[in-house]
Amino acid sequence: MKKKIVVLKDNKIFRTKEAFEDEDQKKLILIKEGKAELLTKEEIKAIRSRKLAEEKQETNYIITRGDNYREKKVELVPELTSAMLADNSWEKNAFKEFNPASKGL
């Protein structure tokens, strides 16, 4: 009614134009294609107020392998014992890093 596409006469709706271009659909297609910056703030506000679109924030993370990456989980031994020194098993084991700043138990 606002764009004078149809008219109401005697409780019946009649077309005033045979064909028309849907501007809102074009705006929504621009938003879908990721070209929302081509629209003005007023147009975006009008689309949001009519609940045709909503703004969402998306967060992406990139995960890469770090320095200590291992294919299989390795049990880290917390401390060197005299038994390990006696049977030379300390050469095969991986040890936790020593942290002198920790208060301990």
pLDDT digits (tens, 9 = 90+) for 40-76: 999 989 999 999 988 888 999 999 999 878 888 888 8
Q: pTM for this one?
A: 0.45
Q: Which residues contact 31 (CB under 8 A, 6 or more apart)?
A: 39, 47, 53
68-85 in b/e form (b: 16+ CB < 10 A) is: eeeeeeeeeeeeeeeebe
For residue 105 the two structure tokens come to 């138990």
Residue boundaries of the structural domains of the chain? 6-49
- Residue 77 · residue 96 · CB < 8 Å: yes
